[in-house]
Amino acid sequence: MAIEDNPVSRRKYGEELKRRREAAGLTQEQLSERTIISRTHLAHMEAGRRRPGVEDARRLDRALNPGDDFFERFLPVLDGKKVAEHFAEALEFEGRATLIRVYGPKLVPGLLQTEAYAKAVLGSGHPPKSDAARDKLLVTRLERARILENFDSPVVWALMDEAVLRQHIGGPAVMCEQLRHIARLGESRRIRVHVLPFEVGAHAMLEGFVSLMWFSDLPPIAYVEGLKSGRVWETPSVVRECQEVYDHALGDALSHRESLALIRSVAEEYEHAARTDKHP
């Protein structure tokens, strides 16, 4: 049975991991090789600084507890928050980050989504969700945005394709509200936003969603997501490569001021379309 994720349970989990590793006569480096988990990540887990993922727990069980499944059964869970399993670890990191640079190829990044926009996105997946299941996901998504209430941390940069602005999610009124929400955050200097216009054509970030995070007490990480899948990368060489790709695409994007002007312009188009829908 899983236990609630908090500093105490995470520390106890780490202590048990260290005890069982040492009982098996393994160093962190040796366990790292057996589990294909980085030594740094193992060290953070043993110290209670990081929550292991489900796949981490399964690999630890295979290496240290054949047939026992201790690490998976007692895996700390995220305080009842409902998210996709592949995003659970990234969600924890997001709440601790001091700097987040995110790229959205098709959708507004979750941190910046309005309630109506998020509701439309979460209600469109497959297989179809009940209203109750969708609303549980919606609550978590909206709670994530609370980190933006603290002006000082984290600093957020949002890089988006122009397709994000043009993709009709929820109808013209929903899109108008969403884009004006982003514009307000940008105008208040709470986020920096950069749009990659259609004219750029092929660019370095075409492959999918990426979130880069920096911390005051941990090395930076990269979260890369695809269809029904996602992975947190901690390997320094991989993280650096993701950062370089992001910077390369950022160089092709409009400036913050130009991006806000485009966002406002598209929002006006949606506002006009919404009025037309109401008054044919």
Q: Which domains occur in the chain, in start order?
A: 3-77 (1.10.260.40), 85-278 (3.30.870)
> Hey, how many other C-beta atoms are within 10 angstroms of the C-beta on 125?
13
**Percent of the chain whose pLDDT exceeds 90:** 47
- pLDDT of 259 reads 98
Contacts of 254 (CB under 8 A, 6+ apart): 194, 195, 196, 197, 262
Q: Which two tokens stand for residue 100?
A: 């987040």
Measured distance CA(274)–CA(176) in Å, rounded? 8
Measured distance CA(87)–CA(154) in Å, rounded? 19
Residue 199 has φ and ψ, to the nearest 5°, of: -60, -20
CA atoms within 13 A on the CB side of 249: 30
The pLDDT-based confidence of 84 (bands split at 50, 70, 90) is: low
**Residue (of 123, 38, 93, 75) closest to 214 by Cα position:** 93
Average pLDDT, the chain: 86
Task: Say whether 99 sits in a helix, a strand or coil.
Answer: strand
Scan for tokens 């294909």, then name that residue: 36
Contacts of 68 (CB under 8 A, 6+ apart): 61
- pLDDT of 98 reads 92
Residue range 3-60, pLDDT digits in tens: 566 667 778 888 889 999 999 999 999 999 999 888 888 888 888 877 777 788 889 9
Q: Which two tokens stand for residue 119?
A: 């509701």
Q: Which two tokens stand for residue 133?
A: 């299941």
**Residue (of 89, 94, 93, 81) closest to 156 by Cα position:** 94
The pLDDT-based confidence of 208 (bands split at 50, 70, 90) is: confident
**Residue (of 81, 63, 80) closest to 72 by Cα position:** 63
DSSP state of 47: T
